[in-house]
Structure 1
Amino acid sequence: MLFFNLSAFYFFYFAAVGVYVIFLPKVLRDIGYSTFDIGIVLALAPLMRFLTPFLFLKHIKLNQKMFKTALYLSVISSASFYLTIENFYLFMINNALLGVCLSLILPYLEVTAISTLGKEKYGKSRLFGSIGFMIISLVLAKFLTQPYIAIHYYLILNILTVIFAISLLKYDVEHKMKQSSEPFSFLKYWSFWMSLFFMQISFGAFYNFFTIYETQHGMSLEMTSYLWSFGVICEILMLYFQAPLLKNNLLTIIKFCVTITTLRWILLYLYPDSLGVTFFTQSIHAFSFGLYHSSVIIYLYSLYENKKLAQQFMYGVAYGLGGFVGAIVTGAVYGEFLFIFSALFSLLSLISLYFIKNKKLI
C-alpha cells in the first residue's frame, strides 16, 4: 500500500499544482489583475516556501503534529480562495498562508519516498504526480468557463491530497533517523544552492506566464493545454526510465539538464508562434524538470545528515526564493524578451555548477 498511497498523494498534489500554475494566472487576468499583480500574487507562496525552513533550523521541529497542522491549514487556505480572490490584498495574504503549508508538506514526504522506495522506484511513484498534472491540464481547459470553477477543482484536489498524505504517516521514517550532529550549512555547498536558485528563476516565465504568452501569440487555450500535457508526457517517460541514468555522475547529469534548458528558453524566444518548435521545447521538459529534479533530490539527499531540512531548503531556495524572484522579474519584464531573461538565468545556473568542488558520485 505504500507505493499506492504515495503515488496517489503525488497524483492529487501535482494535479492541484496544475490548476494553480496553468489556470490561475489566466483566471486572475480575466478577473482584471495586471501581469505585475499576477506576478506579485504568485510570488508570495514561493517566498513563504523560502522563509519557512529557517524556522526549523533550531527552535521548531518538523514532526507529525506540525505536518498535520500544515495539511489542515492548506485546506482552509484553499477554501478561502472563494472569499479573497476578488480582493488583491486579501488574496496575497491567502497565498502567503498557502505557501507556508506547501513548504512543509512535499519535503516531509519526499524523505519518506526516497528512504523507503529508493532511487530505482522513486521515479515510478513520482511520475503519477506528472500524470495528475497532465490530466488536469486537459480536463480543466474544457470546463473552465468562469473563474470559480478553477477554485472548485483546486479545493477538491487539495482535500484528496490531504487524505492520502495522512495515510502515509505510518511509514514516516522520523523515528528511525538519528539526530543530526552536523550543523546545517549553505556555505559548504554554496555554488550548488546558487545553481538551484538561478535555475528556478529561469522557470519563472514558464510557470507563471507560459499560458498567457502562448495565447497572446495565437495559440488557443485548448492547444496550450495540449502543450502543457505533452511536456508532462515526456516528463513521465523520463521518470519511468531514468533509473539507469541516475547510476551515473549526478553532477554531470545536472549540468546537461541545465544546458538543454537554456536552449529551450532561447527557442521559445525565437519561435513563439511556431507550434512545432513549441512542442519540441516542451519535449525538453523531460530533462529540464524530470531528470533534473530527480538528480537534484538524490544528490542533495547524499550531502546532508538532516535530510528533511535539506529537502525543505531545496524547495525553499529553488521553488521558494527562486520562484519568488522569478515571478517578480517576469511579471515586470513580460514582453518580447521574456524568455531571453529565462535563458540568461539558466546560464548563470550552469556557470554556478562549475564552482562545485565536491563531485560526489552516488
Structure 2
Amino acid sequence: MALHSTRWLALSYFTYFFSYGIFLPFWSVWLKGLGLTPETIGLLLGVGLVARFLGSLLIAPRVSDPSRLISALRVLALLTLVFALAFWAGTHVAWLMVVMVGFNLFFSPLVPLTDALANTWQKQITLDYGRVRLWGSIAFVIGSALTGKLVSLYDYQAILALLTLGVASMLLGMLLRPSVPPQGESRQQESAGWPAWRTLVAQSWRFLACVCLLQGAHAAYYGFSAIYWQGAGYSASAVGYLWSLGVVAEVIIFALE
C-alpha cells in the first residue's frame, strides 16, 4: 500500500512520539510498580540515557545514503519492538538493565533519521516540516494523557501494554510504502579524531556547558516527576495532563511556524 510521503512522515512522527509520550513520563512509574527502589530506578534510567546518547551518536550517522533511510527506520523500529516485548520476559534488575540499553539504543536514532528523511523529501516534494512535525507533538500529548488515564483505571501494568502497542503501530506505519522514494547524494562521513573533538570543545565549550546543565536539570523531572506528583496526591490522570500541558506550547509554535 502506497501512502503520500507527507502523510507517511506525519504518521512516523505521530507513532514515535505517541510511544515516547508513554515512555518518558511514566516509565519510572512502571519501574516503581515492579517494587524497585528509587536508587535502582535512577540507575536504570541513567543507563537508558547513556544508551540513547550512544544510539544517536553511533547509529544515525552510519546511514549516509538517503535511499536507505526508510529501510534503516524499519529495522530500528523492529529492534525497538523486540526489546519492548523483552520487558515482558522478566523483572530481574540485570535483565531490565540489558533491555533498557537495547530499547534506548535503537529507539533514539529514529528521530534524527526521520528528520534526515524530512530534509531529503523537502528537496523532492513540497513539504511543510513544521506542520508535519506538529503531529509528533500532538501524539505526545495524547500518549501522556491517555497513559495517565489508563494507569488510573488499571494501575502500572497499563504502561507497558500501551508502550508495546505504540511501538508496534510505529513499525506497521513504517512498513507502508511512501509514494516518493527518498533520493539524494550520499553524505560523506569524515573520521573525527581527538584533534577535531578538542577543537569543537575549545570553540563551543560555553554552548556545550549550557546543554549539559540544561539536560542535567531535566534529569529529575524526566525521571521522577510522575512519582513525585503521585506521592503528593495527584492522580495518574492529572500527571498525564501536567505532562501534556508543557507540550501544548510546542504544538502552538509548530502550528504557527
Q: C-alpha deviations, 1:96-119, integer Å up to 9, x for none?
A: 01111123222111112234348x
Higher relative contact order (CA 8 A, sep 6+): 2
Q: SS state of the match for residue 80, structure 1?
A: helix
- 1:190 aligns with one of 204, 209, 214: 204
Q: Distance in 2 between matches of 1:151 and 1:165?
A: 21
Consecutive unaligned residues in structure 2, runs of 5 or more: none
- 2:107 aligns with one of 102, 107, 114: 102
Q: C-alpha deviations, 1:166-187, integer Å up to 9, x for none?
A: 44776434x4234256858443
Contact 1:78–1:98, Cα closer than 8 Å, also in 2: yes
Whether 1:201 aligns to 2:210 is no
- 1:133 aligns with one of 113, 130, 140: 140
The alpha-carbon distance between structure 1 residues 28 and 55, as it changes in their structure 2 partners (threshold 3 A), is closer
Contact 1:77–1:98, Cα closer than 8 Å, also in 2: yes
The alpha-carbon distance between structure 1 residues 195 and 117, as it changes in their structure 2 partners (threshold 3 A), is farther
- Matched residue count: 238
Output aligned runs, 1:12-161, within 5 Å: 12-53=15-56, 55=58, 61=63, 64=68, 66-84=72-90, 86-117=91-122, 121-144=128-151, 145-161=154-170
The alpha-carbon distance between structure 1 residues 53 and 141, as it changes in their structure 2 partners (threshold 3 A), is closer
Q: SS state of the match for residue 203, structure 1?
A: helix
How large is the Cα RMSD of the aligned pairs? 2.8
Q: Which residue of 2 aligns with 1:323?
A: none
Q: SS state of the match for residue 108, structure 2?
A: helix
Q: Distance in 1 between matches of 2:42 and 2:215?
A: 15
TM-score (norm 1): 0.59
Percent identity over the alignment is 21
Output aligned runs, 1:1-362, within 5 Å: 1-53=4-56, 55=58, 61=63, 64=68, 66-84=72-90, 86-117=91-122, 121-144=128-151, 145-167=154-176, 171-173=181-183, 175-180=184-189, 185-186=196-197, 187-188=199-200, 190-191=204-205, 192-241=207-256, 243=257
Q: Distance in 2 between matches of 1:18 and 1:77?
A: 18
